[in-house]
Amino acid sequence: MPETLDCRAVAHRFFDWVVEAKAKLTTPPTLATVLFAPGHNAGSLQYRDLMLKDAARLGIEARKLEPKDEGELLSSIGALNDDPRVTGVMIFYPIGGQVADKDLMDLVSPHKDVEGLHSLNLGYLVKYKRYMDEERGIKCVVPATAKAVVKTLQHHGVPLERRFVTIVNHSMRVGKPLGLMLENLGATVVECFDKTRQSDMEDCIRRADVVVTAVPDVEFNIPTDWIRPGASVVDVSYQGNIDAVSLPAAVAHATMPGNRIGQVTRAMTFVNLIYCAQALARRG
């Protein structure tokens, strides 16, 4: 069996960093979670509740908002942007409302965008800027799930420079920002999605040094014999896109059931919250 990518250990490392960094802040951070009541799914509800538990364990104040209609959702975002006591805002997508998710992402203040999905923050990623203001130490915020994948691979010493990476996802939250991050680190990246021919997807996966899959469909499955010897596999999906325990022993690394990337994503969201708090303090 491949070596396990120990997401739990990576998450603990960054949660510990959050506790240490929070203790140095003059004003404690506050996270506001926004779960759109009419459109939420079980996954979003579970994820929100895990975030609230993490916040309580870390000693971070967290607010729980559940707007009942789209008008209340929009007014809630505006109020949170204006509230000086709120450091970061997290919206649980997809919303499925009249305003497209990609437009809602731009309604959250880029200075409180703990998910790194505002066009301003994504623009910094495109330009591979690590700091909004390096002189004052104000770091850029990047999408948490994509950052979680990169940090997990780096933690386990998986080479990325000059490697071929196949990402099976093309979303704004995972595939697109992850592709940019890996390209910034010197990888050659191909993104496959629902419009990709299966033969092309199979060819790209079979060639890949690293495979990252994040398809939110219980019917989607990647055959284990598509993964080449020496490759590393990161399954971001909640239900599992690949039977990791059945991967050949020649595969180098893989995430495993019960030790998935989601906990690292949550840790990265709190890291982003600290960055937002530090930026607020340094701006004065």
Predicted pLDDT of residue 1: 80
Question: In this structure, is residue 137 part of a structural domain?
Answer: no
pTM here is: 0.95
The C-alpha atoms of residue 215 and residue 209 are separated, in whole angstroms, by 19
236 plus 176 within the same structural domain: yes
**Does residue 140 fall inside a structural domain?**
no
Residue 139: per-residue pLDDT: 87
Give the domain CATH number at 104. Answer: 3.40.50.10860
- The pLDDT value recorded for residue 21 is 96
Per-residue model confidence as pLDDT tens for the chain (284 residues): 899 999 999 999 999 999 999 999 999 999 999 999 876 788 899 999 999 999 999 999 999 999 999 999 999 999 999 999 999 999 999 998 899 999 999 999 999 999 999 999 999 999 998 887 787 778 899 999 999 999 999 999 999 999 999 999 999 999 999 999 999 999 999 999 999 999 999 999 999 999 999 999 999 999 999 999 999 999 999 889 999 999 999 999 999 998 999 999 999 999 999 999 999 887 65
The pLDDT assigned to 81 comes to 98
What pLDDT shows up at residue 131? 84
Q: Residue 76 domain-assigned?
A: yes
141-159: b (≥16 Cβ within 10 Å) or e:
bbbbbbbbbbbbbebbebe
Residues 157 and 228 in one domain: yes
Whether residue 278 sits in one domain with residue 229? no
- Residues 271, 229 within the same domain: no
Q: Does residue 213 fall inside a structural domain?
A: yes
Residue 284's pLDDT is 58
| 273 and 245 in a common domain | no
- Statement to judge: residues 108 and 192 lie in one domain: no
Domain containing 244: what range? Answer: 145-261
Separation CA 233–CA 69 (nearest Å): 40
Number of domains in the chain: 2
269 and 236 in a common domain: no
Residues 239 and 269 placed together within one structural domain of the fold: no
Do the domain assignments include residue 129? no
The answer to whether residue 48 is domain-embedded is: yes
Tracing tokens 């590393």 back to the chain, one arrives at 232
Q: What CATH number is associated with residue 182?
A: 3.40.50.720
Same domain, yes or no, for 83 and 166? no
Residues 177 and 215 in one domain: yes
Residues ≥6 apart with Cβ < 8 Å to 188: 162, 163, 164, 165
224 and 268 co-located in one domain: no
Residue 54 in domain = yes
My answer on whether 39 and 80 are in the same domain is: yes
Task: Output the CA torsion sign for 264, 268, 269, 271.
Answer: positive
Q: How far apart are CA 181 and CA 174, in angstroms?
A: 11
Task: Look at residue 125 and tell me if it is in a domain.
Answer: no
Radius of gyration over every alpha carbon of the chain, rounded to an integer in angstroms:
19
